[in-house]
Amino acid sequence: MTAALLDSLRAIVGDAHVLTDGDLSAWEQDWRKRERGRALAVVRPASTEQVAAVVKACAAAGVSIVPQGGNTGLVCGSTPDASGRQVVLSTRRMNAVRAIDPANLTITVEAGCVLQSLQEIAEKEGFLFPLSLGAEGSCTIGGNLSTNAGGTQVVRYGNTRELCLGLEVVTAEGEVWSGLTGLRKDNTGYDLRDLFVGAEGTLGIITAATMKLYPLPAVQLTAWAAVPSMEHAVELLGLAHRTLGAGLTGFEVMGRFALSLVAKHFPQQRVPFVTAAAEAADETPWCVLLENSDDESEEHARSRFEKLLEVAFEAGCVSDAVIAENLTQARALWHVRESITLAQVEEGLNVKHDISIPVSRIPEFVRTTDALLAEKIPGVRMVDFGHLGDGNLHYNVQAPEGVDAKAFLAAQEEHINTLVFDAVKAFDGSISAEHGVGSLKQHKLPHYKSPVALKLMRAIKGALDPENRMNPGRVLEA
């Protein structure tokens, strides 16, 4: 049966695009290197028709499929298990731009289109595609949609779901649903699009999407502010909303220790108001990175930014600040923010949490949960940073200094996760804000998701994929 299936797959996509031998780690190893599976084959279709044919062939053979885009996910959601019986379906060859509709402000692209390429194509045509995240040079729009990716501009434009107007999907039966209309209003029944966005490939395979475009702003300015506390950061966010309105397109918060890791491991970068001495008493405990997009002029944008910071200084919620004078300085500031994750890697293994909390409750959450972790596990170091503008924190825990990180994770990761997730639940938050569930958090859902919600999710899964062949073992437990 296996040989017959492989022959069928080769007939569909060509011999060169059915990989069974050699180093398949690019498809079998997750980005964080937490899990390594073994695929029956890696199949690389070039069209929706080929995807549909592959799905039908696998269904006839009783073989499950793991859809995969750029394989940049953080929750082990797009790599095969260890059985050697799953087919990895890579969408990377499906990277065409099918249409740009300037009047409708939409672009239709295939699922394998790399996010950065989509951004550049939109900009070349005079438009903005605002989804932006650290892995944009290698993640794909299909993966972004399947995980409902967030990023740095959610405060203004929303998650990937809010940027999507239509989808093309291959179902678990190998049928093709084409919903690429680009309509902003269509109340003719259930919104099928929203079933597949965020489903992590467990209901069907997204093969193309129609996405929203926006006019390019005349100018984008970036500021970096030191704030005395998380409460003051939230106060600054409120002032920014009132002063900048829709011009506020980025609001990131970063803890002192997180920034000190950047200063320590990347000394060539200048980190404003923070040094590698993480516990320096005279340094600010938090910094905020703000972005202001303006449709008029740099003069107008700068005057609004200066007005915001003037009010913030008077209110006592900012102790120091700088506004980037040019694009080079702005990119340098954003590079510091984006280097926190890489600096953590250099510091050693850590426990990552991608959580969301109502913005108003974040200061209390951080204060109480930091204290709880310090009490239960003395010496832990908190790497707090994230998208404060939309309530999403990357609330990470580094091993105590001098402690073997691998041994620390083996002994404490589950305990830390329980402490953090219990606190998230107590604050009416979510244990996954933008990374998804995958297999990493699957076993946690029954503890932190409503039983009614899980019942409805299982009913949807059972209706659309009754044989459980689409990315099994992800999101929902069998």
| 48-57 pLDDT per residue, tens | 999 999 999 9
- What is the DSSP pairing of strand 248-255 with strand 286-294? antiparallel
Residue 277 pLDDT exceeds 70 = no
What is the percent of the chain where pLDDT is above 90?
91
The amino acid occupying position 468 is N
- pLDDT for 280: 55
d(CA 222, CA 243): 15
Between the alpha carbon of residue 418 and those of residues 28, 312, 424, the distances in Å are: 28, 37, 10
Residue burial 335-373, b: 16+ Cβ < 10 Å; e: rest: ebbebbbebbeebebbbbbbbbbebeebbebbeebbeeb
CA 385/CA 334 separation, integer angstroms: 13
Structure tokens, 426? 């107590």
**pLDDT number for residue 135:** 87
The per-residue pLDDT of the chain, averaged, comes to 94
Is a pLDDT exceeding 90 seen at residue 61?
yes
As a whole number of angstroms, the distance between CA 286 and CA 339 comes to: 16
Cβ contact 436:147 at 8 Å: yes
Nearest to 419 by CA among 376, 357, 363, 360: 376
CA dist 280 and 260 (Å) reads 10
- Regarding predicted confidence, which is higher, 74 or 132? 132
User: At 177, is the secondary structure helix, strand, or coil?
Assistant: strand
| Helix or strand (DSSP H, E) at 55 | helix 48-61
Domains assigned to the chain? 2-90 (3.30.43.10), 97-215 (3.30.465.10), 217-346 (3.30.70.2190), 348-433 (3.30.70.2740)
List, for residues 356-373, the tens digit of each pLDDT value. 999 999 999 999 999 999
pLDDT of residue 366: 98
Structure confidence at residue 311 (pLDDT) = 96
| pLDDT attached to residue 477 | 85
- Model confidence at 349, pLDDT cuts 50, 70, 90, reads confident
Cα–Cα distance for residue pair 392/385, rounded to 1 Å: 9
Backbone angles phi, psi at 236, to 5 degrees: -65, -40
Taking the C-alpha atoms of residue 38 and residue 86, their distance in angstroms, rounded to an integer, is 8
**What pLDDT score was predicted for residue 33?**
80
pLDDT at 279 over 70: no
Q: Which residue has the tokens 């969301």?
A: 356
Section 392-402 average pLDDT: 95
pLDDT (tens digit per residue) in 16-33: 999 999 999 999 998 888
Is the per-residue pLDDT at 1 higher than 90?
no
pLDDT at 144: 97
pLDDT at position 288 is 98
Say which residues have a Cβ less than 8 Å from residue 152's Cβ, sequence separation at least 6. Answer: 132, 133, 250, 252, 291, 387
- Sign of the alpha-carbon torsion through 449, 358, 289, 115: positive
Give the per-residue pLDDT at 76.
87
Give pLDDT, residue 74.
85
**Local confidence band at 242 (pLDDT 50, 70, 90 cut-offs):** very high
Averaged pLDDT, 307-313: 96
- Does 34 score more than 90 pLDDT? no
Mean local confidence (pLDDT), 444-461? 96
Which of 266, 238, 269, 252 is CA-nearest to residue 332?
A: 269
Q: pLDDT (tens digit, 9 = 90+) per residue, 151-198?
A: 899 999 999 999 999 999 999 999 999 999 899 999 999 999 999 999
